[in-house]
Each structure stands twice: as C-alpha cells, then as structure tokens.
Amino acid sequence: MADPTPLDLSGADGPDYSKLPPPPGPGDYDGGKSAGEGQDGKDDGKKCGTHSSEGSPGHQGLQGNSGQKGGTGNHGGDFTFKAANMTGNWPVNTSGGKGGGGQTGGEGGTGQAGGAGGKGSKNCKGSDGGPGGPGGIGGTGGDGGTPGDGGNVYINYTSGNPTFNGLLTRGGTAGLAANGGKGGPGGKGGSPNGKGGGTGKGGEGGKASAIPTGKTGNVYVNGVSQ
C-alpha cells in the first residue's frame, strides 16, 4: 500500500479581532449639552441682592465600548481507520484550532463641558464657569479566545508495519487578550475662566483564557494507547 495523502482534520482557528480598529466611541454625555448655568446676580436697589453663582461642573464622559472577545478555536476531528493490512507512513493532523485575539477597547467619551457662570449685574459680580468633566474611562479590552482540543485517532489493522511520522493531535493555543481603550478627553470649562477637565483613565485589559492550551488528542493503535 502506498503512503496515503496527508489527512488534515485540524480544527479551524477562532475569529481573530486583534487587528480590528477599536469600537466606535460611546457618544457625548447628555447629548453634548453643557452642564447647568450659574445663577445670575440680581440687584436690590443700589446694592447686590442675590449674588451670582458658578456654573455647574461637567459630568464625567461615558465609558468606552468594550472590545470583542476572541473567537473559540474549533476542536480537531477524530480519525478512525480499519484495515486488514496496513503499511507506509500515515501523517494525520487532528490538532485543535487556536483561539482568536481580542479587540482593543474603545476610547472613552469626552467629558461634559462645564456650565457658564452666572452673569453679573450693576452691583453684583459675575461668576466663573464650571470646570469641565473628566474624560470617560476607556473600554475594556476583549478577552483572549479559548483554544480547541486535539481530536482522537483510532487505528486498527491486522498485519503490516505502518509508521505515523507527522501525526499531530496537539491542542490549540489560546488567543491573546487585548489592551483597554484610551481615556477620553476632558470637557471644556464653562465661560468664563472655567478649567478644562482631565483626560480619563485607560480601560482595563481583557482577560486571558482560563484554558491556555487545548487538550492533546489520544492515539489508539489496535486498542492500545500510544
């Protein structure tokens, strides 16, 4: 019997999202509206009756969107062969597929702009605008994908002296977890003199797969584990 053509029953790799751009931003807090304005000053005759107040501080920007988790690798297929006489080399691949890489988390949203300060009057001073809100926290990175297990091989023959060079039944490897997204930019300070908000914190990285390597498939020749 001539050597058979190599048989590939390996599992497909899981979808990989590591090269995708981060997901789109979460949008602006409250539709992009500024924080509340301060109260205007009001005179009481020749003196200030009600003092103006500062603008409200901006709210923190929305958190960025999470990255996509890496896809799960497929398990390798099982191979079963029975023959009366078996010779030659039998290169069979039943390896498990690799887990896909996660997608980087999205950037956090822009902090809300601070509210305008209350206006002054003839006898009352105007107030400063409120500070801008801090940028949103970056989105969490996508988790690494789970690997596939290797398939089992079952070979039964009566006579012959076959070899199995190139026989692969190993499990796949897990995909890499992705980094978290960048923190969003701070919001603008309210007019006048309001301070801008600071940049948000970066997002947390994705989690590594709890299974770093898939299980290796078993090989049985005439019922004996190899």
Domain boundaries along the sequence of the chain: 70-84+92-99+151-173+214-226
Amino acid at 17: Y
Question: Per-residue DSSP letters for 190-209?
Answer: PTTTPPPPPPPPPPPPPPPP
Contacts of 214 (CB under 8 A, 6+ apart): 73, 75, 96, 147, 148, 149, 150, 170, 171, 172, 173
pTM, rounded to two decimals? 0.87
- Region of 210 (left: φ > 0; alpha: ψ -120 to 50; beta: rest) is alpha
Average pLDDT per 10 consecutive residues for the chain, totaling 226 residues: 72 98 94 95 94 97 98 97 90 96 98 97 96 98 98 94 89 98 97 97 98 97 90
Q: How many other CB atoms are there within 10 angstroms of residue 82's CB atom?
A: 10
Contact between 111 and 184 (Cβ < 8 Å): yes
* 193 phi-psi bin (left φ>0, alpha ψ -120 to 50, beta other): left
CA distance 154 to 15: 30
Which residue bears the tokens 């990989």? Answer: 16
Whether omega before 15 lies within 30 degrees of 0, making that bond cis, reads no
Q: Answer whether 14's CB lies under 8 Å from 175's CB.
A: yes
